[in-house]
Amino acid sequence: MSVSTRANSRQQGFTLIEVLVSTLVLTVGLLGIAAMQMVSFQTNQSAYMRSQATFLAQDMLDRIRANQRGYRSTSVYDDVDSGSVGAIPASPGCKAGNVGCTPQQMGIEDVREWVQHFTNIEGVANYRPVLLNGTGVVRRGTDNTFTVTVSWDDRDYDLEGNLTRETVTRSVSYTADLF
């Protein structure tokens, strides 16, 4: 009799195999979530860099637009390259006093302030550029057309979001026709 009652009794609790399988499924799920978080962080960092580059390019175009007399009568905004630190003129110092700046001086101040986002031209201790190996270039075309290009180094990923260990140079470029 005791054999038949044992067969009819219900099982209680979990077997060791069931616990191991559920732990394995949970572990795989948590690893998947961690991988998604890593890819999200990487793409978010890349998007942040692109946003900063876009801001810097638009900032320079806005500076040029605000100084109409400066870009029409001088060449201070022509061929600006943040990589050519020696070509960046010294500060005229007109912003410190109440005298004000001429359009030429304002253009020089604009160029210096913009280049500081890429290069430590003032010798500041613990300087950190906005973009990794970033460069900014302003080119003047015909009929007051200005093109601002901002480039930076970024990490590259394949189609699955895996880091390929390569550094690529990305850039944004904006052109404005100023009248």
Give the separation between CA 50 and CA 59, rounded to whole angstroms.
Answer: 14
**Lowest mean pLDDT segment, chosen from 78-87, 94-103, 149-158, 168-177:** 94-103
pLDDT at 162: 63
CB 76 within 8 A of CB 70: yes
- pLDDT higher than 60, residue 8: no
Closest C-alpha to 49, from 164, 166, 168 = 168
Please write the tens of the pLDDT for every residue from 52-104. Answer: 999 999 999 999 999 988 888 888 888 888 888 676 778 888 876 666 888 88
Q: CA-based Rg of the chain, rounded to a whole angstrom?
A: 30
The pLDDT of residue 60 is 95
Helix residue spans in 74-177 (DSSP H): 103-115
Gap between the Cα atoms of 17 and 56, Å rounded: 59
The pLDDT value given to residue 143:
83
pLDDT category of residue 37 using cuts at 50, 70 and 90: confident
Dist. CA 15–CA 21, nearest whole Å: 10
pLDDT of residue 84: 80
Q: What is the pLDDT, as a whole number, of residue 64?
A: 93
Q: What is the model's pLDDT at position 163? A: 61
DSSP state at residue 83: T
Residues counted in the chain: 179
pTM greater than the 0.85 cutoff: no
Query: Contact 137/80 with Cβ under 8 angstroms?
Result: yes
C-alpha to C-alpha distances, 72 to 55, 64, 100, 134, 178, nearest whole angstrom: 24, 10, 19, 28, 10
Q: How many CB atoms lie within 10 A of CB 175?
A: 13
Contact between 178 and 146 (Cβ < 8 Å): yes
- Helix, strand, or coil here: 166? strand
Average pLDDT value for the chain? 83
When pLDDT is cut at 50, 70 and 90, the band that residue 152 belongs to is: very high
Residue ranges covered by each domain of the chain: 14-177
CB-CB contact of 44 with 161 (8 Å) = no
What pLDDT score was predicted for residue 65? 92
CA 47/CA 24 separation, integer angstroms: 35
Residue with tokens 């630190």: 85
Task: Give the pLDDT confidence score for residue 61 in this predicted structure.
Answer: 95
- For residue 110, the one-letter residue type is D
Specify the pLDDT at position 97: 61
Confidence grade of residue 6 (pLDDT, cut at 50, 70, 90): low
- Confidence grade of residue 16 (pLDDT, cut at 50, 70, 90): confident
Residue type, 9: S
